[in-house]
Amino acid sequence: MVILAAGNSSRFPEHKLLYKINTTCMLEIALQKGKQLPVSKRYVVAQHEQVEKLALSYGYEIIHNKHPEKGISHSIVLAVNSCKEDDGILFMVADQPLLKETTLQNILEKADEKHIVCVGNHDNFQNPMLFPKRYYEELLQLQGDKGAKKIAYVHKENVICVPCEKDEVFDFDTKKELQQFMMEGLNKDKC
């Protein structure tokens, strides 16, 4: 599994992934959930030393992204190159603190050699997404700030969607969104 954590968070005034929700930073929430999964390897794609140190403290291997300006596709390419021997890669983004461990487990349970597995429905694919090895070459061709969803839509007939609550896939792009979330207390019911 790979946690994508190398974004610039340009709409957030400080380092978004290190911003605390209650007493735990957003990245740490993702690291804790990933640690509970029955996977053989755990990686974090990162550009910042603070993110790398935190990931290492949880036993994750680091994939350093020296060129985050190339977009999320570059992080995906780096991850695929590091995981070429693996049968599949579960990609998580680090800014979905409401994502439930049971949803991640459901994705892993549906994994096979043919299907891309993600949350959502057949009109709207969302992260996290699991890609079996047969899609690695296509993932390696991604460019810019377009993620792996592009490949899922090309192979729509081979996508298995796992249902989840709408709030689980919400990613916080601004401090205002995060503060609103914290004021409403959604995390008490949804995390």
Specify the DSSP class assigned to residue 96. Answer: -
- Segment 144-153 mean pLDDT: 90
Decide if 162 contacts 115 (C-beta within 8 A).
no
pTM: 0.88
Q: Backbone dihedral region of 8: left (phi > 0), alpha (psi from -120 to 50 degrees) or beta?
A: alpha
* pLDDT at res. 27: 93
* pLDDT at res. 116: 98
Q: How far apart are CA 23 and CA 149, in angstroms?
A: 32
Q: How far apart are CA 180 and CA 163, in angstroms?
A: 25
- The 10s digit of each residue's pLDDT in 43-96 is 999 999 999 999 999 999 999 999 999 989 999 999 999 999 999 999 999 988
Q: Please give the residue that has the higher pLDDT: either 15 or 114.
A: 114
Within 10 A of 158 (CB to CB), how many other CB atoms are there? Answer: 15
- The 10s digit of each residue's pLDDT in 5-42 is 987 655 555 566 876 777 888 899 999 999 999 999 99
> What are the extents of the domains in the chain?
2-190
What are the structure tokens assigned to 191, written together?
A: 């995390």
* pLDDT at res. 190: 31
* Least-confidence region, from 11-15, 44-48, 106-110, 142-146: 11-15
Largest pairwise CA distance in the chain: 44
Decide if 12 contacts 19 (C-beta within 8 A).
yes
Return phi, psi of residue 22, to 5°.
60, -110
Q: How far apart are CA 108 and CA 112, in angstroms?
A: 9
Q: Please give the residue that has the higher pLDDT: either 16 or 108.
A: 108
99 closest CA partner among 114, 72, 120, 73: 120
* pLDDT at res. 106: 97
Decide if 159 contacts 115 (C-beta within 8 A).
yes
Give, in words, the CATH class of 2-190.
alpha beta
Q: How far apart are CA 127 and CA 90, in angstroms?
A: 9
* pLDDT at res. 9: 57
Q: How far apart are CA 154 and CA 41, in angstroms?
A: 28
* pLDDT at res. 53: 96
